[in-house]
Structure 1
Amino acid sequence: MAKASVSKLVPKVPVPGVPGASRRAAYSASTKRALVDVAEQLFAEKGYAATSLDAIVSGARVTKGALYHHFSGKQALFESVFERVEQEAAKRIQKSLRGQKDPWRKATEGLRAFLDVVQEPPYRRIVIQDGPAVLGYERYREQEERSTFANIVEIVRATLDAGSWDLDEDMLQTFARIFFGAMSSAGESVATAADPEAAARRVEGAIGFLLAGVQSLVEQGVAMPSTLDEDDEDGEAADPE
């Protein structure tokens, strides 16, 4: 019964010289996709702790053996769900950046896309609420950086390149990590707020104010602090006189 249900999704395209190989591969992929689809829905609605493997395999109409063929257990399945939710969020943010020539407009649109994402119930439950506890802090940060950090780097690079600062890659990455940490914290504050929309407006206002400050520094041609006194080769403090 389980196989008949999932096999309806499987295209019957044979591989020359390997009878049945394509069908088996497609069936396996469909089974895995069904498990992740159902797990994502249940994790979003009930949370990780309240979701059982029995409920997942029942919803996907497969056996537990099929689940264990693809995943070592519930945590591994959650990680696949987490990765997909984060990747989809990153794609949405990336789409908001595409075609934006003005660096400040790019930063603003990226921020708004991010704030829209963190207000959505599935993202809030799976990524913000359950993610750190289920994956552990280090693994959670690793997954988060893998999916969204590149967008932060693109935004930071665009805004800093608007100035006359000659920054090396290490300094740019330093700025990106600071901004990434601020965005992660802001996202958590929005996702866990009693009124996410109001919290998102506050975050947009606060970060918009900071961006306006950076834009003002660019327009004034203010030097980057790390470049001040760079002619003092002995490393001594510059003479105030």
Structure 2
Amino acid sequence: MATPTQARRWAKTGATQQRILDAATEVFATRGFTAATMADVVAGSGASVGSIYHHFGGKNELFLAIFEQMATAVDRRIEEAMRQAGEAPAPRRVFELHVRAYLEAMWENRRLARVLTSGDTPPGFEVARRDRMQAAFRRWMAVLGLDTSVRGQLLSRVLVATMAESSLMVAGCDDPDEVPAITDATIEWIGRLTE
């Protein structure tokens, strides 16, 4: 069991990491990844350069930590949606819950999402982001029971593209009233495509 002193030290570390991530997100959002400097992150976070390197490493690693923060937020939102759904919902309902939770997480974390989808990212990031998104979407689509034929593979790709475009639309929204319409349309279109 942690002593009060240890608990405070860990709490401070977590708070410091979050402050650095928040500052990095703000810097990347306003200046872009390429133009941003570690000095900008230091100024925004109040942390020392040494502290930033200790917690995250360099600028690329900070960007990846923002991506992990977003992925964790999405996972938590989906887990909560599934918990609220109760025991063994029907497969289509499971998929709908995943889509809805994912798009809600995109809206709730739109600042992060906009940074991650800006196109101004570290080398190799777009491939890593695409691969992770496709893996997640394919897990969700598995409950739909799509076949593995060429036709089924094409449908899977269309569904992944639909989800990716929907998430970009949601992240780009400024009006919260647009989000349910995008979410409902996404679910409707996926439903039509998988009938």
TM-score, normalised via structure 2 length: 0.70
Corresponding residue SS for 2:194: helix
Unpaired runs of 5+ in structure 1? 1-7, 13-25, 162-166, 216-241
Instruction: Map residues 13-52 of structure 1 onto 2, 5 A cutoff.
Output: 31=13, 33-43=14-24, 47-49=28-30, 52=40
Q: How many aligned positions are there?
A: 182
Query: Residue 178 of structure 1: which of 144, 149, 158 is its match?
Result: 158
- Tell me which amino acid in the other structure corresponds to 1:76: E
Label 1:150 to 1:101 Cα distance change in 2 as closer, same or farther (>3 A): farther
Label 1:57 to 1:187 Cα distance change in 2 as closer, same or farther (>3 A): closer
Label 1:131 to 1:168 Cα distance change in 2 as closer, same or farther (>3 A): closer
Residue 138 (structure 2) aligns with: 153
- Tell me which amino acid in the other structure corresponds to 1:124: R
* Distance in 2 separating the partners of 1:109 and 1:168: 24
Which string of whole-angstrom CA distances, capped at 9 and with x for unpartnered residues, describes residues 194-228 of structure 1?
4243244134224324414523xxxxxxxxxxxxx
In the alignment, is residue 214 of structure 1 matched against residue 184 of structure 2?
no
Q: Report percent identity of matched pairs.
A: 20
Q: Which has the higher contact order (CA 8 A, sep 6+)?
A: 2
Residue 106 (structure 2) aligns with: 118
Corresponding residue SS for 2:145: helix
Larger helix share, 1 or 2: 2
* Distance in 2 separating the partners of 1:174 and 1:9: 56
* Distance in 2 separating the partners of 1:91 and 1:210: 23
Query: Residue 128 of structure 1: which of 114, 117, 131 is its match?
Result: 114
Residue 75 (structure 2) aligns with: 90
- Tell me which amino acid in the other structure corresponds to 1:190: V
Alignment check: 8 A CA contact 1:103 1:159 kept:
yes
Which string of whole-angstrom CA distances, capped at 9 and with x for unpartnered residues, describes residues 111-130 of structure 1?
2112211211xx21222344
Corresponding residue SS for 1:90: helix
Structure 1 residue 138: deviation in Å? 4.4
* Distance in 1 separating the partners of 2:149 and 2:43: 48
* Distance in 2 separating the partners of 1:100 and 1:206: 23
Label 1:197 to 1:136 Cα distance change in 2 as closer, same or farther (>3 A): farther
TM-score, normalised via structure 1 length: 0.59
Unpaired runs of 5+ in structure 2? none
- Tell me which amino acid in the other structure corresponds to 2:19: V
